[in-house]
Structure 1
């Protein structure tokens, strides 16, 4: 009975639009009190959930992305992407995607991409005559590449919750992230031809060379992160520290566009964001502990395997479950709750946890583009001064290529596992 009340109270609190950390904490506290346990159990499990060394990577990756934005480095990335792919039909749409690929190697968060690059991209597309719906739609869709290509904050959380190698998860996201970009570029090309969107700039090797020169040092960021982790030079946590240090070096010493005032402001914002993320991790850990105590994973596995033993069908069911959860729950909370439930049944079926991690995160990234939660839509609504509902409608066509890539990755695991097997499992 207490467990049923736990689930009901969580649904009610989420429906009342309470912050997800508060909803998880209050529903978990209700269960603990109904079971006659002291309230200190809540705090004890929250601390245990947050007491993880890999989680230290989160504030440093957030700091690195914030510093890159504040130092104006994103404009250098955009200029290079514009020179590289702006010559195609719908040029700025391709530039939008290309810039997101590069920025993905610095921030690891879709919201950071949407907030940092979004304002630059949407303004440039408006000035070039693109309609607002297309501009907002492709900006929202391309921002989901950020948490797939390393570094990735959601993959760090998944790695902690599933007790798997974060390094393997990082390299596993490279090919899927590039596939997402390619599918979105095909969509942009088709829409640009249909709507007669212009080419942005003529291709010029000289322009590519000059913009590459100005963006070269920022472009080294993903090389340092991924190369360092893949070579074994440092752990993902140490890579995050290196990324933040490198961002400070670029902003304060080399480009001198980052003042002490900006550094302090970004640091405070990083503390606030990290605190909110860890609060979600802590309360979600308590909720996951209650699920484990009530053998929710066992019940779920038995129920699912009782319905069918078909691996392909079970993968589809898991995908649909995660997609629905992503509509209503914040990414970090969803990962913390879903992983303990989905991982056992996945292992029983022989699904590699690295493969599971990528398809779960991509599912949840699609959730960021859909109401009612849709955090990326809220950010772009603010950036573009366009109503949330219109942003959601504008993004719908771009969900088609993302879902197509999701299904491809779900049923062809070798795409995801190629690099981890090449670099880590020989």
Structure 2
């Protein structure tokens, strides 16, 4: 891992410093290394780029994004936001609170951080900007709330981890409930202090109606939106559909509700909805493609194996091993797409932690939470990329607000790492 590794990361850093888009920087750095080093055929770029997207679980992403766009355009997501607003009222940082809670609920529909940011952020970021929130913060809190996607069931990352580790998908889904709530609470606390300090939300802007919507009216209007997570998770838990099939169910359900019940989608709207969903999905999948090729080069150069072996040789203390793995995965999440990271590193790290008595379900939560933080950390930061696009703000202007959010989530990560009962309580209770 000598010259090639330095060359790979050196080129990537230089390109990022010159404001080259992250996806292009990842692909370009990998391609330049392949051309200069010469030991890897150039055709591997095309093969890896296409094969990384030729994945059944990944099909769920564009379908969930489409479902989110339909819900947004058809009034479902708006009614969900109205319902939460009727509960939150005019608390400090109320729009941030609504963003976090709505993202938590929507994560139980989409199973994807990117889809959550694209759907909820598209509704709430414009209102945050009108209410005096800094564009960088509006993008940051939406992106951070979207990081709930990989740890709130039905998480696609959980499914990939379960396949790689031969563990129960149902147990992983159940184990994500309490950590997901802890992450949401941490975001709510940080949102309060930032909004209090910066004075965000001083302008009173109604989200939808000119008059405040009452609780019972908002609940009645939002009942179909609130039913969506129950329908999707119930179908998955009941073994009726796979998560990818559930994404299709979400699309069909949202179409039926928005066309025949809310009656806010017309035939002419479909072109715009499909174009918007295609644009968002394409942006995300380009990241997947570029990051997968970057990860493939890392794998060919045996960088993951070297790091994993080095980690195991330093110590056999479980507490220190978990701390080192956390640091390692946080760095990995900064440069590698979540799916690729799970596929590459889980088989390498599991043989290290299992002999130490660490439960694979608990370790799965550690891995997924670590990599979910990668969604909001540069240079990759897919969620930040989506949020900054919606807020029309440069990527780097989000860093000021992402730093304290990341710090709070890091505390949650350490708590979950060293208190395994938080993760294992519900699976053990229901399983026992």
Same fold, TM-score > 0.5, yes or no: yes
Which segment drifts farther, 82-91 or 51-60? 51-60
| 1:422 CA drift (Å) | 3.9
Partner of 1:221: 228
> Is the contact made by 2:165 and 2:347 (CA closer than 8 Å) also made in structure 1?
yes
Partner of 1:420: 427
- Is 1:261 aligned with 2:268? no
Cα distance in 1 between the residues matched to 2:2 and 2:219: 57
- Is 1:11 aligned with 2:14? no
Distance change >3 Å, CA 144–CA 267, structure 1 → 2: closer
| 1:416 CA drift (Å) | 1.7
Distance change >3 Å, CA 417–CA 233, structure 1 → 2: farther
**5+ unaligned residues in a row in structure 2: which ranges?**
16-21
Cα distance in 2 between the residues matched to 1:52 and 1:111: 17
**5+ unaligned residues in a row in structure 1: which ranges?**
none
Superposed CA deviations along residues 234-271 of structure 1, whole A, max 9, x for unmatched, are 33333233223222322333333344324543564477
- Is 1:103 aligned with 2:106? yes
> Is the contact made by 2:143 and 2:386 (CA closer than 8 Å) also made in structure 1?
no
Cα distance in 2 between the residues matched to 1:327 and 1:261: 35
TM-score (norm 2): 0.79
TM-score (norm 1): 0.80
Cα distance in 2 between the residues matched to 1:45 and 1:122: 35
> Is the contact made by 1:145 and 1:177 (CA closer than 8 Å) also made in structure 2?
yes
| 1:181 CA drift (Å) | 1.1
Distance change >3 Å, CA 366–CA 282, structure 1 → 2: closer
> Is the contact made by 1:167 and 1:235 (CA closer than 8 Å) also made in structure 2?
no
Superposed CA deviations along residues 12-41 of structure 1, whole A, max 9, x for unmatched, are 55344645466567868998x738xx8888
Cα distance in 1 between the residues matched to 2:386 and 2:303: 38
- Is 1:170 aligned with 2:173? yes
Partner of 2:39: 34
Which segment drifts farther, 331-340 or 140-149? 331-340
Equivalences, count: 416
Aligned residue runs from structure 1 range 376-387, under 5 A: 376-387=383-394
Distance change >3 Å, CA 4–CA 54, structure 1 → 2: same
Cα distance in 2 between the residues matched to 1:407 and 1:97: 21
Partner of 1:410: 417
Cα distance in 2 between the residues matched to 1:285 and 1:327: 12
SS at structure 2 position matched to 1:139: helix
- Is 1:346 aligned with 2:353? yes
SS at structure 2 position matched to 1:386: coil
Superposed CA deviations along residues 354-397 of structure 1, whole A, max 9, x for unmatched, are 32232223223323323333333333333223333322112222
